Structure 1
Amino acid sequence: MMAAGRLSFRNITALAPMVRVGTLPMRLLALDYGADVVYCEELIDIKMAQCHRVVNDVLETVDFVAPDDRVMFRTCEREKDRVIFQMGTADPDRALVVARLVEKDVAAIDVNMGCPKEYSTKGGMGAALLSDPDKIEAILKKLVAGVSIPVTCKIRILPTVEETVSLVRRIEKTGVTAVAVHGRLKEERPRHPVHCDYIQAVAQAVSIPVIANGGSLDLVKTNADIEEFRKATGASSVMLARAAMWNASVFSNQGPLPVERVMEEYLKYAIQYDNNAFNTKYCLCQMLRDKVESPLGKQLQAAQTSAEICKAYGMQELFQQTQERLQARRDTLQSSTEPDRPVVDGDVTTMAVKFERREYPPRVTPKMFLLEWSRKEKLEQPLYETVQRSQDRAFQSIVTVAQKRYRSSLWEKSKKFAEQAAAVVCLRVLGVPEGRIGEEDSGLVCKRKREGKMNGTTEEEGNIKRHIAAIQQETDKSEAAAVVSGDHHRPDTPPEQP
């Protein structure tokens, strides 16, 4: 499989890139059953270019996370030398940005030049590239020169054999390692027969490996058919899409397994790697095929969460055990994180801080102390921005004080706790008391006497007056000035308190 440290594309069987199917659970399942190489689903360069690479210590994965906190691509160590990242692109520079973002976590980069669907052809991507060979050449040359791993592409055939061969010869000259050829025109669909003669002509015309694609249903129904398809096309290798989607054990030379067992094995991976529930449901429905209206199929279609999907398959106990194991790992990682070391992440100062309510007196919170300190310093009221993570509904907040931003790197169970954690980070970075029980009393006094204005004030403001002592009379002004800057205004509205 590996030639001089690089992935070989000769004499392999691959899981083809399939939108909504080629996510991590399906890729790992295909590898289990004997696939040599697995492609991820096509991922659009514009979306991927906005992602950040995140090491997920809980799931033991590497995640590429979009600004809205969606995981666009998730991978793990087991598939690192076998997974091929396929992108949709029509721009050489943007393609290179994405390739460099993921190149240390994948085995190769593939450019989609064959998908005929609108989501891919929009903007000149996918099969739209087939009519622009200059752009094909520019993209592939840029990638080959710019990354350290193999670059490949996947095309569909053109109206004539001569045009197809001419295009692939031009592609070969860009320096790509292999080319996959789907033996159908971009106007043709799976019901149309695959043109093995076109693939054969391409394989004879170039020296790089050619991967034959498009044989599912008509030519490839079992593992034994894979070799027959390879011989019929004269290709170096074979790539399977629908046949693998319906039953991934088609990759096994031990014979096909019952689809019920394959679905259970897939679901185990989906639980283990916290796969999106709707993606999991989609893949399972594809495996059910004509049984999608069976009692199991109807229960599956009605499911809205991973827990409900597992219930349909009688796997509630496994789901619960997995959730408990992941939570235990999450707790261990959070408790072992060094909490006292601030880290600058872009324009945000972060610390690994978790808000523990029991550490503070009743009705006294870090947010209150931060508010009082801001008033004392004649700064604008602290501003909180909170986001919720889709996969586990956890919260994280950023507080802005004097045009500087602070947050905890840990996620909280509620919006209020996330805001409190952000306030703690800000106070600790500034070296300001936060009101914890047992905190040394260094002459804290109530700086804002508002007892005479109680009428019309909120109970929370009253609590602040009763329980908050103002910040130290002699706060180290030089230290505060080094961290805090900006216009000084009094807040016009009371803060939101828990």
Structure 2
Amino acid sequence: MGISFSDKIILAPMVRVGTLPMRLLALDYGADIVYCEELVDIKMLQCKRVVNEVLQTVDYVSPTERIVFQTCEREKGCVVFQMGTADAKRALAVAKLVENDVAAIDVNMGCPKEYSTKGGMGAALLSSPEKIEEVLKTLVNGISKPVTCKIRILSTVEETVSLVKMIEKTGVSAIAVHGRKKEERPQHPVHCDFIKAIAEAVSIPVIANGGSQEIIREFVDIEAFKSLTAASSVMLARAAMWNPSIFRREGVLSIDDVIHDYIEHAVRYDNHYTNTKYCLCQMLREKLESSLGKKLHAAQSTKEICAVFGMTTFYESCTLSQEARRKSINIISQGTLEVDDDKNEEIVDATQLPVKFEKKDYLPQITPKMVLLEWCRKEKLPQPVYQTVQRSLDRFFHSVVTVNEKKYCSVLWDKSKKLAEQAAAIVCLRTLELPEGKIGEEESDLVHKRKRKMQYQNVGSGNLSEMPQTKKLHQEDDKTEGKDKES
């Protein structure tokens, strides 16, 4: 039996907000259906579907390795995939790509923002009824899952009702109506009379949207908005963005509790920290100038966000669990790892740590590979040898570095050869308890010399050995080398 759109409370599609953590949180609090953010057809068609066994999700991954859409078993029967499209063939291709992972497909015909209207998508479709008809009929006839659309109202009730009756004939299962015209914004009043006229004119479920702030401030107001519009269901956007516990029949929770619950989902599903940060800023919109708000604004990783809200222990526990699972089944977060027997033996012989090279943590001229090379030269060892392979499944890289006849590698795979080799160097340096060149780390003599070398190169094009400044640098380095030999 397919999903029903009658008598439901629904999380609206919201760009940057409607990602997996927010959708799951809305379901936790009582939402019946959740829409993902609008995803453009062309971008989705570039994605590959990857089963992520570590996070137990299905990820649609772009060529740049960015997760464009992520879902999981828990929401499979209630998540609606909303796409931005103005082309029937592309729309059908995307729908076929995702239909087995979602409950329904929705076409965005209401967003007035430029990122949606360019190319004739979003609210721009309202001016092309023939295009609307073509896209919706193609989807209804081409996939097994229900198809819906979301619109804004037109200039008059009559025009709007006429459009909606045409949409109904395409065979869609429901229609969501934002009760504002495309030129109107949240500060303008919602036109409940338009939505009511639509609901009375068609036989399919009508989902009322646009009542946040003006009408809906707590759960009991949802029913009031539903009555005003005579709609079958109600869809919440900003009210849910500001406090997702609006879906709780028992009443809203404090924003502190909501933030804690949201961060738990964000960490468990490895949500990108910039998206997590954006959603938290919406929840803290009235406190962004407070001490807490400023700390959130300054956070540059999920770990730092967790520290702001006193959730470091949870973060460490969760990430350790993920790394252990990742290691035990030999996968990374983007997909299953297929390793041949020879590669397995090579990794088993190596010292392994769950390490990634974060470029922002290191000075450009002092990378872990440089530090390791300088250390080997100082100890009169052969220079490090990197053996790097690329996996055919997702084109990720893994590197094993050999130093003094011992091997070191990260258990994680990375998106470039350079990053994989830097990670292997970090594992070696940490195992040997050597500095790795991180910003803020106390500089070793090797790092000090590396900086000196950069200074030599920048002095000029003359005879460096004859320049007073350069002579002084050489003398200081000679003294340092003498101390090294004595120790």
TM value normalised by structure 1: 0.71
Paired residue for 2:340?
340
- Tell me, yes or no, if the aligned pair for 1:386 and 1:415 is still in contact at 8 Å: no
Deviations 1:167-223 (A, max 9, x none): 000000000000000000000000000000000000000000000000000010000
Asked if the contact 1:354/1:412 (under 8 Å) is kept, the reply is: no
Q: Return the offset for 1:395.
A: 3.8
Matched, 1:319 2:321: no
Kindly provide the amino acid, as one letter, of the partner of residue 101 in structure 2. D
Q: Closer, same or farther in 2 for the Cα pair 1:298/1:128, shift >3 Å?
A: same
Does the alignment pair 1:415 with 2:417?
A: yes
- What does residue range 269-284 of structure 1 map to in structure 2 within 5 Å? 269-284=265-280
Counterpart in the other structure of 2:247: 251
SS of equivalent to 1:212:
strand
- Partners of 2:266 and 2:33 in 1: CA distance: 20
- For structure 2, the residue ranges without an aligned partner over 5 or more in a row are 352-381, 400-410, 423-487
Which position in structure 2 is the counterpart of 1:268?
264
CA shift in 2, pair 1:6/1:419, >3 Å: same
Q: How many Å separate the matches in 1 of 2:97 and 2:204?
A: 26
Once the two structures are superposed, the pairs formed by residues 78-477 of structure 1 within 5 Å of their partners are 78-334=74-330, 339-340=339-340, 355=347, 358=350, 395=397, 411=413, 415=417
Shift of 1:313: 0.1
Higher-helix-fraction structure: 2
Secondary structure (helix, strand or coil) at the match of 2:286 reads helix
2:196–2:228 contact (8 Å) kept in structure 1:
yes
SS in 2 for 1:183: strand
User: 1:490: which partner in 2?
Assistant: none
CA pair 413-225 structure 1, distance change in 2 beyond 3 A: closer
Q: SS of 2:60's equivalent?
A: strand
The letter of the residue matching 1:132 is S
**Partner Cα distance (1:275, 1:412) in 2:** 17
Amino acid at match of 1:46: I
Contact preservation (8 Å) 2:390, 2:397: no
1:59 paired with 2:61, answer no
In the alignment, the residues of structure 1 paired with residue 144 and residue 93 of structure 2 have an alpha-carbon distance, to the nearest angstrom, of: 13
Q: Give the distance between the partners of 2:233 and 2:418, measured in 1 at CA.
A: 55
- CA–CA distance in 2 between the matches of 1:352 and 1:152? 48
Measured on the aligned residues, the alpha-carbon RMSD in Å equals 2.9
Instruction: Describe the shift of the 1:92–1:247 C-alpha distance in structure 2 as closer, same or farther (beyond 3 A).
Output: same
Q: Give CA deviations for 1:127-166 in whole Å, capped at 9, x if unaligned.
A: 0000000000000000001111000000000000000000
CA distance 1:13–1:316, change in 2 (3 Å): same
| Aligned equivalents of 2:174, 2:7: Cα separation in 1 | 12
Post-superposition shift, 1:386? 9.7
Distance in 2, matches of 1:413 and 1:130, equals: 41
Give me the whole-angstrom Cα distance separating, in 2, the residues matched to 1:60 and 1:28.
14
- Residues of 1 paired with 2:338 and 2:73: CA distance? 26
User: Is residue 34–residue 252 contact of structure 1 (8 Å, CA) maintained in 2?
Assistant: yes
Q: Which residue of 2 aligns with 1:22?
A: 18
Contact 2:65-2:415 at 8 Å conserved across structures = no
- After superposition, the C-alpha distances for 1:1-55 in whole angstroms (9 at most, x for unaligned) are xxxx100000000000000000000000000000000000000101001100000
- Cα separation, 2, equivalents of 1:158 and 1:339: 57
User: 1:245-267: per-residue Cα shift (whole Å, max 9, x none)?
Assistant: 01111101001110110011000
Mapped to 2, the partners of 1:45 and 1:238 lie a distance apart of 26
- C-alpha contact (below 8 Å) 1:99/1:109 kept by paired residues: yes
- CA 299–208 in structure 1, closer or farther in 2 if over 3 Å, else same: same
- Structure 1 match to 2:5: 9
1:223·1:251 contact (CA, 8 Å) conserved in 2? yes
DSSP-derived class of the 2:59 partner: strand
How far apart, CA to CA, are the structure 1 residues paired with 2:164 and 2:341? Answer: 55
CA distance in 2, matches of 1:417, 1:279: 23
Q: Aligned pair 1:38/2:34, yes or no?
A: yes
2: CA distance, partners of 1:154 / 1:395: 42
Partner of 1:184: helix, strand, or coil?
strand
Q: Deviations over 1:227-259 (max 9, x none)?
A: 000000000000000000011111010011101
1:278 and 1:340 map into 2 onto residues whose CA distance is 36
How far is the alpha carbon of 1:339 from its aligned partner?
3.5
SS of equivalent to 1:291: coil
| TM-score relative to the length of structure 2 | 0.73
Q: CA deviation at 1:340?
A: 3.4
Offset from partner CA, 1:341-388 (integer Å, 9 cap, x none): 89xxxxxxxx889746649xx8797959xxxxxxxxxxxxxxx8899x
Q: Judging changes above 3 Å, is the alpha-carbon distance between structure 1 residues 193 and 325 closer, same or farther for their aligned structure 2 residues?
A: same
CA contact (8 A) 1:353 1:410 kept: no
Q: Secondary structure at the match of 1:69?
A: coil
Letter aligned with residue 417 of structure 2? K
CA-CA distance at 1:334 after TM superposition = 1.1
Q: Deviations over 1:311-353 (max 9, x none)?
A: 00010110011110000000110199774389xxxxxxxx889
CA distance in 2, matches of 1:354, 1:102: 38
What SS does structure 2 have at the residue aligned with 1:156? strand
**How many pairs were matched up?**
377
In structure 2, the CA distance between the partners of 1:20 and 1:416, relative to structure 1 (3 Å rule), is closer
In the alignment, the residues of structure 2 paired with residue 126 and residue 9 of structure 1 have an alpha-carbon distance, to the nearest angstrom, of: 21
Residue matched to 2:360: none
